[in-house]
Structure 1
Amino acid sequence: MGLFTDAYSLFSIVPVTYLIGRIYYNPDDGKPGTVPIALRAAVVASALAGTVIGQLLFGFLGDRLGRKKVYGTTLLIIVLSSFNCGFSIGRTANYVIVSLCFFRFFLGVGIGGDYPLSAIIMSEFANTERRGALVAGVFSMQGFGILFSALVTMIICHVFEVVQPSGKDPIFPHPPPSADLAWRLILMIGTIPAVLTFYSRMAMPETPRYTALVQGDMERAIVEARRVLEIDNDLLSDVEDHGANMMPPPDQYSFFSKKFFKRHGSDLAACATSWFLLDVVFYSTTLFQSWIYKSALKPPEHVNVFTEAFNLAKFQAVFSIAAIIPGYFGAIMTIDRVGRREIQMIGFLIMAIVLFCMVLSYNAMVENNRIHFPYLIMYALIFFFANFGPNTTTFVLPAELFPARFRTTCHGIAGAAGKVGAIIGSIGLLWSSETGLDDQNDKVPGNGMKYILIGLTAICFVGVVHTFSFTPRSTVAVPLEEHED
């Protein structure tokens, strides 16, 4: 549920930021207030920075202490920090944002730890033939987190508007006090799914492969495999069939040894680079969201605070159903048939083609701060093929390529590289695009956005070449034990 909460947090913060802007940042010109760009960047960066730290820290601890022990800790951090986001307070508007950033940082730490542990636990519990689809299925929970956040936001905004209408004035420069409660409830409700899974996490046994390969206890590994027969009846046969190989190798070299980098360094670099390239593009596309919202929805001057947040969430819900969730399911259906490397190349390639088409049609499709419908279709295609391809495969591949004693560490390093790319994509490009999206001039698109699209196109083409050149050719139907040495 960490990945579910990750997506919930990432997408719910968009309407929440709009609510906070209209509540705490009322300008003198009578127009609806907005959170300053520096503070919006801080809200995003705080969670991403925490995610980087969480992936590195809990990835390391997952190999040292065991998957089960660390897994429960990450969920506890997620629940507490996500809930406390709703209690972000301060004497001024800026202090409220600082308080929110503080709790979102620790939320990011918990979510970051959940990335490698969720992937590795499912990978080590899964049988060889269905491993890719099962790990991809775990990652697809992000799509449902996005949809859930949109539905929660829509319901809360609708209820609050019915119970306490905002008045006849559509601009409503002074939102009702209930608006301050609304955004807090939106953030706090995201903890409920995580709380519901807490018992099952704590009752879950250690993965049999970790028990056998890292702790060297083959008998207990078989006992633990029998405990999860109801989850996967093929797991025990996997453990027994490869039992001879499921013992710690005699040559126990360390992670920082030359032998590790000689045997696994290239795979780790390939996974980290692919994830970095993908997240630069994937998170950069969030730059377009406010621009697209402004084009597709009514201007904020014409709606009240609850209606604006409701419309944003409705747009997210439609987008997740039409593009995001289908992309994940496409990956689940093909990853064990077509292959990880192949669908990663397909995803990067089609993303590059679509982005290039957006560059070529930019002047025709974008005029008078309005975006034509075909441009929205192209925007949706980017997310569909990102989730169908590299967004899923970069999560799956590090869970399969490394020895058990280094597995969560390597996954954490690859994921942290991705989140560094996410910081560059969502923060660095946000600032660099200010010449093309002037925050003081209603974000009128200019050539700056066009240049960003060109850069993202080039990054996707680099992703295709990198995947073809460096990503391992196949992990389909390859037992995890093949990577033990």
Structure 2
Amino acid sequence: MTDTVRQHHRHNPPAGEIPVPHGPEVGNEHGHYPAGGATEQERTIFAHLTHPDDCYTADGVYWADLPFRKRVAFVNKVQNEETKKELAAIGRMMKADPLSPLSWYFRNAVLPGAGLGLEGYVLFSIGNLEPLFKAAWPTCWGKKPTECDANWIASVTYLEVVGIMVGQTAVGIIGDWIGRRWGLIQDAAIMFVGLLMITASWGLNLNGWVICYAWSLFFYGFGVGGEYPITATSSMENAVSAGKLSTREDRLHRGRKVTMAFLMQGWGQLINQAVLILLLLILHHGDGNPPYGTTTVQWIWRLSFAIPAVGTLWLVYYRAYKMPHASRQLAAAKKKNNVTGYDVESLRLAGTFFGGRLLATAGTWFCNDVFFYGNKLFQAQFIAVISNNPSSVLTGWIWNLYNVIVSLAGYYVASILIDNKFYGRKMMQQVGFLMCFIMFIIPAFNYEYYTSPAGIKSFQAMYFLSSFFNQFGPNSVTFLVAGEVFPTPIRASAHGFAACIGKSGALLASVLYNYIDTQTKFYVVPWFGLAGMFLTWLFLPDTTGLDLKEQERRWAYIRSGRDSEYHGIAIHPKHLSLWERLRGVGKNYNPELDIKQKIEDMREEWAGKERLRRQREAGGEPAGPEELDDEDWTEQVNEYFRQTTDEGLVTGEGSEKGKSPARELRLSEKSGSESA
């Protein structure tokens, strides 16, 4: 192959000018293939595009088609080489600047996940502050409030969750309708205003303050809910894969990239708990034990919300001025389909073709949130037995800090293994659900023993293990796959819907637990883990190692009503759910036919690039900032397309019915030059 020559032209032509993908054709050597498959010349030229070496063997066999032993050897070889390459890169970075790996992590994990970090800080602060409020204002937050309405006390949780659910759905639609960038800026602005409202919430009496506090949380929750679909989709569609035919980084590390952003939620929880502990020790002027003065409590909780307000204001600035291209891939997808607003047709088709995936993502998220909320059941029980001072708010906060650290470890292990082809998304979620089920079912049927001094250590271990496997499992995977298994035009909507259904699981738990005792809770909760594992096994496809560009290619065929003509790896049995395989979705998988299709699709894409480039040059327009160089288009590929198209014009041979866009482009150029 010749060296890569970057071409300054757009990945997609103007709206309405690119035709639907052509199916395989039989013809001559000029890109129109003999019945036996693509020519050797074409295989050689396009090998690095159609058969990247991290997915295919030297013989052109996809890794999932290899016999088991060869598959293990191939995958291990690729992963070992990638690990060595990354370690060498880290070594070079540290040699040049010892702190450069930290700056890389800040750019690639902290910044993309900053919104989720702030969200984790604030939302978990609500639960952390409740025992402090109960200690300071027992007539309002106690078990039998006399000064406040019990319904409004309960509404603090309900309105927060409902606000998140509304935001997840609404901002998911906004993200697909107006754009990812607008959604990112809007969410940060709403969260900033919401934090100001929470910090300044007040009332003529305690009940009035609770009402103001609850509605402020609802408003803030709307912005928080929007963070889920917007952060997930923008993390997936950033410059790593946007604008390019295919990237090695996307295939090998997409899951890690998204999970590293998501785990900032865990850091938000950790920082919040640490800040509250420090504020209590500083302002309470003692060892953190009760009684707590109301003035001190006021300062603690208001300062704890004022701190993230500063970070959120900076986030508004960063998203408004430093993320100008967040909507680029969505805009490209809309141009392909000549859509200017919300792509209703894609939504309809997604419901037809991906209904099982929607059930998988929404259903498993629902089960996970019941578990995630149910995990908190352990805390009060084992703290009461283990601690010498269970009435101290500080004691509960310290134990919660331990739990957050364990959870954070689960996030990081998930980011390491989520792209592993032998573990990956689907297996990780199934194992996580299974382990959570086990960690709850054991104490459910021997509750008295595990809550006694004799069994409390085991109870504590199961509590921490359930936290670990919840993060190293469904909590991380649901966030990733809820957007990953759907096409670009409706990705944020699908993610937002799944997240909203998931959050209804938390709402169900918060309501249900008010009416059943602790023993009954342990009988109820485990079965959601079993249900989540079953839904994952039956309905969730495994997208580990699958390039999102290949999914978009399949979607182009679906969108044009020619789903049966797609033969690529997006319908390989490895990347389909059991439900999809039973319905025969993978029956058209055919590697030989797919090679032909890929080359013809690239020809069409090249023609569109050429057309747009020439139009801009003719108009004297510079390339837009979103028109990045495309590293996948080499000089040899471009020259091959030019030569075969020109020869096709001379012989009268071309693509379907002689109306290839490439052919039309060259014909118009020839006519123009002859006229001149």
Q: TM-score, normalised by structure 1?
A: 0.80
1:130 is matched with which residue? 253
Of residues 432, 438, 449, the one that matches 1:347 is 432
Does the C-alpha gap of structure 1 residues 286 and 408 become closer, same or farther in structure 2, counting only changes over 3 Å? same
2:399 is matched with which residue? 315
1:235 is matched with which residue? none
CA contact (8 A) 1:254 1:260 kept: no
Q: How does 1:106-185 map to 2 (within 5 A)?
A: 106-125=219-238, 126=240, 127-162=250-285, 171-172=290-291, 175-185=293-303
Of residues 469, 480, 490, the one that matches 1:396 is 480
Partners of 2:155 and 2:167 lie apart in 1 by: 18
Partners of 1:187 and 1:352 lie apart in 2 by: 35
Deviation at 1:161, TM superposition (A): 2.0
1:456 is matched with which residue? 525
In structure 1, give the amino acid aligned to 2:129.
V
Deviation at 1:88, TM superposition (A): 1.8
Partners of 2:468 and 2:149 lie apart in 1 by: 31
Q: Deviations over 1:424-448 (max 9, x none)?
A: 12x1232123xx2xxxxxxxxxxxx
2:364 is matched with which residue? 274
Deviation at 1:38, TM superposition (A): 4.7
Identity of aligned residues (%): 26
Q: How does 1:175-254 map to 2 (within 5 A)?
A: 175-202=293-320, 203-207=322-326, 208-214=328-334, 216=335, 247-248=336-337, 254=344
Deviation at 1:188, TM superposition (A): 2.3
Q: Deviations over 1:237-288 (max 9, x none)?
A: xxxxxxxxxx4489x9725865332112221121111111111111122244
Tell me if 1:62 matches 2:175.
yes
Q: How does 1:416-431 map to 2 (within 5 A)?
A: 416-425=500-509, 427-431=510-514
Q: Deviations over 1:294-330 (max 9, x none)?
A: 34445466xxxxxx33333222222111x21011011
Deviation at 1:475, TM superposition (A): 4.1
Partners of 1:257 and 1:146 lie apart in 2 by: 35
Of residues 327, 335, 345, the one that matches 2:418 is 335
CA contact (8 A) 1:253 1:259 kept: no
Deviation at 1:405, TM superposition (A): 1.0
Does the C-alpha gap of structure 1 residues 347 and 374 become closer, same or farther in structure 2, counting only changes over 3 Å? same
Partners of 1:253 and 1:90 lie apart in 2 by: 45
CA contact (8 A) 1:23 1:33 kept: no
Deviation at 1:393, TM superposition (A): 0.7
Q: How does 1:367-446 map to 2 (within 5 A)?
A: 367=452, 372-425=456-509, 427-433=510-516, 436=517
Does the C-alpha gap of structure 1 residues 379 and 257 become closer, same or farther in structure 2, counting only changes over 3 Å? closer
In structure 2, give the amino acid aligned to 1:154.
I
In structure 2, give the amino acid aligned to 1:156.
L
Does the C-alpha gap of structure 1 residues 318 and 294 become closer, same or farther in structure 2, counting only changes over 3 Å? same
Q: Deviations over 1:368-404 (max 9, x none)?
A: 8x97121011011111101111111110002211121
1:220 is matched with which residue? none
Deviation at 1:90, TM superposition (A): 1.4
Of residues 256, 261, 272, the one that matches 2:351 is 261
In structure 1, give the amino acid aligned to 2:481.
L
1:304 is matched with which residue? none
In structure 2, give the amino acid aligned to 1:114.
E
Gaps of 5+ in 2: 1-113, 241-249, 557-676
CA contact (8 A) 2:409 2:468 kept: yes
Partners of 2:371 and 2:217 lie apart in 1 by: 23
Deviation at 1:469, TM superposition (A): 0.7
Does the C-alpha gap of structure 1 residues 36 and 4 become closer, same or farther in structure 2, counting only changes over 3 Å? farther
SS in 2 for 1:61: helix
SS in 1 for 2:419: coil
Deviation at 1:366, TM superposition (A): 1.3
Deviation at 1:42, TM superposition (A): 1.9
Partners of 1:263 and 1:32 lie apart in 2 by: 52
Deviation at 1:37, TM superposition (A): 6.5
In structure 2, give the amino acid aligned to 1:61.
I
Partners of 2:265 and 2:347 lie apart in 1 by: 36
Does the C-alpha gap of structure 1 residues 136 and 156 become closer, same or farther in structure 2, counting only changes over 3 Å? same
Does the C-alpha gap of structure 1 residues 156 and 206 become closer, same or farther in structure 2, counting only changes over 3 Å? same
Tell me if 1:468 matches 2:581.
no
Of residues 360, 369, 375, the one that matches 1:285 is 375
- Structure with larger Rg: 2
SS in 2 for 1:266: helix
Partners of 2:501 and 2:160 lie apart in 1 by: 15
Does the C-alpha gap of structure 1 residues 98 and 380 become closer, same or farther in structure 2, counting only changes over 3 Å? same
Deviation at 1:190, TM superposition (A): 2.7
Does the C-alpha gap of structure 1 residues 364 and 141 become closer, same or farther in structure 2, counting only changes over 3 Å? same
Partners of 1:454 and 1:382 lie apart in 2 by: 16
SS in 2 for 1:472: coil
Q: Deviations over 1:199-246 (max 9, x none)?
A: 2211202233223212x2xxxxxxxxxxxxxxxxxxxxxxxxxxxxxx
Comparing 126-135 with 386-395, which one deviates more in the overlay?
126-135
Q: How many residues were matched structurally?
A: 423
Q: Deviations over 1:430-469 (max 9, x none)?
A: 2123xx2xxxxxxxxxxxx232222221111111111111
Gaps of 5+ in 1: 217-246, 302-307, 437-448
Does the C-alpha gap of structure 1 residues 311 and 431 become closer, same or farther in structure 2, counting only changes over 3 Å? same
SS in 1 for 2:203: coil
Partners of 1:33 and 1:138 lie apart in 2 by: 44
Of residues 110, 113, 121, the one that matches 1:8 is 121
1:82 is matched with which residue? 195
SS in 2 for 1:130: helix
Partners of 1:99 and 1:300 lie apart in 2 by: 31
